Amino acid sequence: MTEATQPDGFSNSLQLFDSLHWIALGLSLLAIVGVSLIGRCLSLQNRRRVIWALIVFTVAQEIVDYTNRASFRDLNLIQDLPLHLCNYGLLIAAIGLVTRNRFCFEFAYYAGMTGVLQALLTPNFDDLKNLTEYIVYFIHHALIIQFALWNLVVDRMLPGRGAVARTLLCIVALMPPIALVNWLTDANYMYLCIRPEVDNPLLFGAWPWYIGSVLFIGWALMLVAALPMVWLRRRREK
């Protein structure tokens, strides 16, 4: 039988920090850092070309993702609406990359340094049914951080004061409409109904308490991610 007709066999073979996971993390880190460092050396015109090439690549990987899903199961409202936080994160990060909008950059940076980074370190392997889905998963999440880093390193943008609060409030504001969609479709977008089965010590508690713990820990991690931004801001103000 083909890989597509035996999706569970692939996910069951995956382990946290196995060789495949380390390779995916290493390539993600190389792309995240490398593209931004190269961008600093380019002319303004070539930077815009790279930006639009990244946008085209982003759209292409989404097409590959949904085409791959459709190859081994029917697309449905329960699993395939782009309503997880990382779906919003990639869209907002892409807007920030193209427009240099500060809020989009702030959201991508703080969401990227917290939730997206955790998703890369502790993936929910049950959701990854074949190698294509595995690869696209890491590309999708790495792009969010990469776009934010481009704004930071190439565009020399910095989060404004109160950016942590704005990011957290935006995430909280997304929860009620997503909860309504979950109720209507019996889905689990943003993992608001069922805690994800991941090996992550920062995720604990039963429903609904784990949601509060995630928000609190996310807020704490955002404050940690804000420290180098405060240092950079003070350095530039001198």
The answer to the question of residue 36 being in a domain is yes
Helices (H), 44-162: 44-72, 85-99, 102-111, 117-121, 131-153
Instruction: For residue 161, tell me if it sits in a domain.
Output: yes
- For residue 106, what are its two tokens? 């702030």
Question: Residue 2 domain-assigned?
Answer: no
82 assigned to some structural domain = yes
pLDDT in tens, 79-137: 899 999 999 999 999 999 999 999 999 999 999 999 999 999 999 888 898 999 999 99
CA 98, 99, 105, 107 torsion: positive or negative?
Answer: negative
- CA distances, 133 to each of 66, 81, 109, 199, 237 (Å): 9, 16, 24, 20, 45
Q: Can you give the pLDDT at residue 53?
A: 97
Give the C-alpha distances (Å, rounded to integers) separating 25 from 34, 107, 123, 147, 170: 14, 22, 11, 17, 28
Counting Cβ atoms within 10 Å, is residue 91 exposed (0-12), middle (13-18) or buried (19+)?
A: middle
Distance CA 14, CA 21 (A): 8
Q: Distance between CA atoms of 198 and 204, rounded to whole angstroms?
A: 10
CA 34 – CA 50 distance, rounded (Å): 13
How far is the C-alpha of 142 from the C-alpha of 93, rounded, in Å? 11
Q: What is the pTM of this model?
A: 0.92
Any residues with CB less than 8 A from the CB of 38 and at least 6 apart, and which?
50
User: What is the per-residue pLDDT for 50?
Assistant: 97
Domain that holds residue 54: 7-237
Q: What is the pLDDT of residue 23?
A: 97
Residues 6+ apart with CB under 8 A from 235: none
The verdict on residue 130 lying in a domain is yes
Q: Which residues 6+ apart lie within 8 Å of 159 measured at CB?
A: 102, 105, 106, 109, 110, 226, 229
What's the structural domain count of the chain? 1
Residue 119 lies in a domain: yes
- Whole-number pLDDT of residue 61: 97
- 1 domain-assigned: no
- Residue ranges of the chain with pLDDT lower than 70? 1-8
